[in-house]
Amino acid sequence: MLKKLLLIGFGMLSGLVLAGFIFVIYESGAELPAIETHHIEAAETLSGLHFSDSHRDSMLAGVRSNRETYQRIRAMEIGNEVWPAVQFNPHPANYKPRITGNSFNWEPPLQPPLPENMEELAFFSVADLSSLIRSGTITSTQLTELYLKRLREYNPKLQLVITLTDELAMKQAARADSLLNAGIWLGPLHGIPFGSKDLLALDGYPTTWGATPYKNQYLSETATVLKKLEEAGAVHLAKLSLGALAWGDVWFDGVTKTPWNTDIGASGSSAGSGAAVAGGLAAFALGTETLGSIVSPATRNGVTGLRPTYGRVSRYGAMALSWSMDKIGPMTRTAEDAALVLQAIYGPDGLDPSVAHHPFYYEPLADLSGLRIGYHKTAFSMMYPYQSFDESMLEIFRDSGAELVPIELPEMPFNAMDVILSVEAAAAFDELTRSGQDSLLVRQMIQAWPNVFRTARFVPAVEYIQANRARTLLIEQMHEAIKDTDIYITPSFVGGNLLITNLTGHPSISLPNGFDSSDMPVSFTINGHLYDEGLLLAVADYYQRKTNFHRQIPPQMLQ
């Protein structure tokens, strides 16, 4: 007799309506319906194929056998942390790195004066705060107390904190002060308070992934990036919100708001990270990106968001969404700050198989003479909102001493390749789908993870491999398109660059370059060659020294 398990779940739609969902889940070891030739014929329609009756008869035994293997693998315990044996490599053929030696030429800025309103310290750059702490003008404990106070005060409106790690923060701050009193300075992040996106494991604290099914999940490990930041002397304030399972700004306890307008979501999925930095609730934060999850909230919140090269920063201890597309990067007030954070977190740890040793070279630039800066001609020629801001930005680069050269990005069906993300995400959350607990996620619309996971079950493995082969061609064409430039500039959301570079693994940095008629920030994106974050950071730093968009403070966040 066929055994079935009925699960009834409820999800919140649009924050107003409760909708019920009924799932039929076959228990492990249950007798499954027999596969017949008409099932194969129906499946052909899903794949756009056609076989003859004799072909279907010949396939039947193999298809039945395949399903048995699925069941055997499903009986195994394969956690989200387990990598697939097949690894993605973003290198084009005959790849030669542009950067061959480490160098981090950073000089601390002149110590800024203390503001009359000490709340303003919350909006100082990491570099400035570092100077104040190192000189003893302020202590890490004082700064940490300030940020914790602000987190408690503003979180009810912004809904960006999942777990406040205040005891840990005060302990780490006290250690930072003690070391400094003993004459030991760990570097520019010594005593600097920060927040992390709550898909990074922190031993002793819940790691919720922003999703109801994992609300009480504790992982007995700490993500490599958090370990590295602790070694650099940074102070962990809070685990910050993300859209559930890294999509959007909707999580199990609400919608994270942007400090610029608390009626508007902070975008995502690194929603809490972007909002915390913008609101002066952390000196910097860690975000992650698979397809826009740093660039989009950096834009919405008016902060600087660095998405490093794929494989630059270890993802050990981070929730896996797409093993071949996930990246971890800093969200900061300035490009200089992003360089300081990347310097602390980059490099292999022996635990993330995608990370190899590539040097990091960073040196601020007084001017951009001699640089060839590409700009995506077709994208900038299109009619799109905020085009005037981008035109003004290009004028700054034309006056910088650099040579601006038009480029065109590959013309391929790269939108079709996002099936790679869908399939990998469905595999990462296979158990969630098969258990029916995907119904517990807040968002239950067509464009939401539960439906994407289910739909991806019907992508043939052959088509997934073909999409990845097309991705190889995209990598090669991308290498050709930008090989004669040092960096290149694009609109943040026009022209396809966001998807292309997330598929190819190229680094980018999103920078604010104005405010629209609603006083909301807008941005543009600087993109670099593989592992050449140092140059794009230096160019971004140059731009920010010529402008002050990144220094603006949301009015309601400073009393």
Q: What percent of the chain has pLDDT over 90?
A: 91
Quick one: average pLDDT of 228-247? 98
Q: What is the pLDDT of residue 99?
A: 85
Residue spans of alpha helices (H) in 162-305: 166-181, 224-231, 271-278, 295-301
Is 283 a residue whose pLDDT tops 90? yes
d(C-alpha 172, C-alpha 194), whole Å: 11
Q: What is the pLDDT of residue 16?
A: 29
Dihedrals phi, psi of 512, to nearest 5 degrees: -70, 140
* Cβ-based neighbour number of residue 186 at 10 Å: 17
Rounded to whole angstroms, what are the CA distances from 217 to 119, 214, 435?
35, 5, 17
Average pLDDT, the chain: 93
Catalytic entry in 125, 140, 197, 510 = 197
CB 333 within 8 A of CB 303: yes
Sign of the CA dihedral with 239 first, then 244, 246, and 248 last: negative
* CB neighbour list of residue 297: distance below 8 Å, 6 or more residues apart: 249, 266, 267, 268, 269, 270, 271, 273, 274, 275, 287, 305, 331
d(C-alpha 218, C-alpha 212), whole Å: 13
Q: What is the pLDDT of residue 102?
A: 85
> What three-state secondary structure class fits 133?
helix
pLDDT in tens, 339-363: 999 999 999 999 999 999 999 999 9
Catalytic entry in 293, 296, 314, 508 = 293
- Cis bond before residue 510 (omega within 30° of 0): no
> What three-state secondary structure class fits 480?
helix
The alpha-carbon radius of gyration of the chain (Å, integer) is 24
Cα 351-354-360 angle, rounded to 5 deg: 95
Domains in the chain and their CATH numbers? 103-413+467-557 (3.90.1300.10)
Quick one: average pLDDT of 327-344? 98
Give the pLDDT band of residue 155 (cuts 50, 70, 90). very high
* CB neighbour list of residue 470: distance below 8 Å, 6 or more residues apart: 412, 413, 416, 417
Known catalytic residue: 197?
yes
Known catalytic residue: 228?
no
Q: In what order do the strands lie in the sheet with 521-528?
A: 161-164, 235-240, 193-197, 284-289, 327-332, 304-307, 508-515, 521-528, 487-491, 372-376, 403-407
Known catalytic residue: 324?
no
CB 461 within 8 A of CB 52: no
Residue spans of alpha helices (H) in 399-532: 419-428, 430-435, 449-456, 461-482, 497-504
> What three-state secondary structure class fits 364?
coil
d(C-alpha 472, C-alpha 504), whole Å: 8
d(C-alpha 369, C-alpha 103), whole Å: 20
d(C-alpha 488, C-alpha 529), whole Å: 9
DSSP for 26-57, written as a single string: PPTTPPPPPP-HHHHHHHHHHHT----HHHHH
* CB neighbour list of residue 122: distance below 8 Å, 6 or more residues apart: 146, 147, 150, 280, 281
Is 467 a residue whose pLDDT tops 70? yes
DSSP for 484-502, written as a single string: T-SEEEEESSSSSHHHHHH
d(C-alpha 134, C-alpha 128), whole Å: 10
Catalytic entry in 130, 241, 269, 422 = 269
pLDDT in tens, 7-50: 322 233 333 233 333 445 555 556 889 999 999 999 999 999 99
